[in-house]
Structure 1
Amino acid sequence: MIEALAGPGARGVEDLTASDLLALARDRKAAEDRASADLLVVAARWADLHPPESIHSAATFAVPGCEHEEPIAGDGAPLVAEFCLAELGAVLGVSTTAAKKLVGHALELRHRLPRLWAQTQAGRVPAWRARSVAEVTIHTSPALTREAAAFVDAQVAAVAGRIGPAQLDRLVAETIKRFHLADVDPAADPEDGYLHVDPRHATIHDDDVHYAGTMRLEAELDIADALDLDRALAHGAETLKALGSDMSLDARRSAALGDLARTQTALDLAGSGADPQHLPAAREVVLHAHFNASFDGLATVFGPTGRMEEGQRLVLLDQISGWCSDSRTKVTVKPVIDLNADLSTPAYGVPDRIREQVILRDRTCVFPWCTRPARGCDVDHVDEYDHAAEAEGRPQPGPTGTSNLAALCRFHHRLKTHTAWRYEMTEPGTFEWTSPHGHRYRRDRHGTTAIDPLDPPGIPQPRRP
């Protein structure tokens, strides 16, 4: 039941007329927009309270495939202590990375896009639209100077933020040319100036896995590359049909793209008479799939679905069977590890078998809301290992055993080491975290739960400019 109207004689939604429902919808949407704008104010003020200190570096974004990092907001926005963002994200129920984006957008808007910030706080531009502009101006390459960002701000504010992605890309490209931020060919057609911002990309949306075990690929290609790829996919689809495939054309084109990813050699040798059994392995991609197994005395019986570590998604048994049927696929079956056994060693270093048990038990980094796969995490001693305990004849307070080990990504491992965040393992695979401000969270294999009581009423609202 949704209480539609507050106060004496309040009615439920089912008692409202069509006009009442429209009024309620408008009211709730306005409240949602106001709350989103207020959250940007809170995020900016949180940043003000947490400038970088001697022990903390400034918060940045890692750039995939590069050695450098990008600031969370552009030139002219203040720096923010990297560790403070974890607590903000935790109370919002989002990852540290998502909190980093929120604060970066708030600072970008307040300091480099002030007109758009004012319109957002006045309710004329929705926060989501303003944040989409900030995301572009933060990560534009080459980076926008303060003056260039101000030019973008003026243009976007003039249309009250009503600008689409393509228009915004053109505006940024024009800004880059106008402020001489990149070398531009003077003979180039001015109408084609937007091409100086290279739009090419190939993005695998690994956070959007379909229940059927498929994943979406989005790409922007050079025209010649796109046409070549189209011809290759058409040829691959026809080849699969000739080999007896009864899949649809779209499915065959998708499978042909997978073949391209696996090996160009296979395409070159198709029809050359080479025996597929003797082709070299096309690739080495390590996937970790887990299926429950039970024994009836004769055979192992698997359920129809299992869990794929990569992406923390379900995977169909039929898909695994298809992958394994390829003669060029190397399949390794590892022995089952009892996740309830308490494995330990007197040494500080974590042996592979104990590490694997922790990885399988925790699945991801065990910090609240973090989703980084455990296989790429550090294995942390929950209670610190005392290297001098044995020499001094004292019991080891932080033994190296699965009852005292947890998977933490490198960032949250550093956060636990250098800040007032603390956690304990209350039972195998279940952790309770306490933040520097006393907020508590329970993290287990099912996710994160806030275990704080609701905040008392009377929290002051952020002042609007």
Structure 2
Amino acid sequence: MRDAEVARSRAEAVQVRAVARFAALSEESRGVAAEVALTLATTEHRAQRMVAMAQALTSRLPATLAALDTGTIDAYKASKIVDATNPLSDEQAAAVDAAMVGRLDGRNPSSIRRAAVRQVAVIDPDGHAERGRKRRLERSVQLVHQDDAMSTLIADLPAETATAIYGRVDRIAKTLRGGGETRTLEQLRADVFAELCLGHRTAETRTEVFVHVAATTLAGADDHPAELSGHGPVPAWLARHLATRPDSVLRKVVTDPVTGTVLDLGRSRYRPPAALAEWVKVRDRECRMPGCHRPSHASDIDHTDDWARGGKTSAANLTGLCRRHHRLKVVPGWHFRQDDTGTLHVRTPTGTHHQSRPEPLHSAPPF
């Protein structure tokens, strides 16, 4: 399978160069997408995307194109870097392109997008902050009627608001399982969401959402991007705003500005088991399964080495895994191991090896 994927990626790189060359040689740019669409029997909208991506890869993102050449990534993964760097200048895009070298192999499209956005926030913090302000002005709710007496409700909301809403719906839905309940978790989430919107459900305890922010950023000494668990980078101004609002559902997690390690959880816990569980969730931020971004505060705390087999209940042996990947541990052929550095190693039934380690909130400053 992997050989076939590499071959497909290399063929996509050839096509990218061909499309870029055709666009460069065309005397009238307005007809390029139309001719590409006719040649490849695709829509003009898709052809426009192909032309724009080919031009970006060949002129602004040489390292990403090289990764496509070698089969490290495919065109869809490359598009995540193209989209993330779209608002940047050529110089800034080149810096993100260089920073992504070594961060691509073995990552799924969602992980690559988040890594690219994180680099954009570091390289262009002012632009990232301003784009965040503008996007919040575009919040909206849309109703799209579908077939078979169903409709889709789309809410375009600030990340912290949407994260808190989903967390609350998910938590309530999970409490309703069992006791003869026949609805699936997805059905329960949909029903709980509708009940909350229509006022048919009484108030529930607020759901906490974690935002990781450097101590220096919180104090206003710098503008390092913060990290919203399950979402990714958010501008420093937003992190400071959320951390100081008295009605906020977010928990601020203050980190060391040099190492990115946790300094403060925002309040004290006195029961050791609860404190340890909270520490692990804050450290991991998300499910530790490579490529999974479910927030750790909505995940299980797992003994990497099973407790029943002598595994210790310690930070070095505990990881946050979402319920789906927690259950994967008991499937024959899957093996999980955590080494002394905190890296989680996952071996699949076919013998392939994958690993994950919580990324630092920000890079250490140069000295």
TM surpasses 0.5: no
- Larger helix share, 1 or 2: 2
TM-score range, shorter-chain basis? Answer: 0.3 to 0.5
TM-score (norm 1): 0.33
TM-score (norm 2): 0.41
Rg larger in 1 or in 2? 1
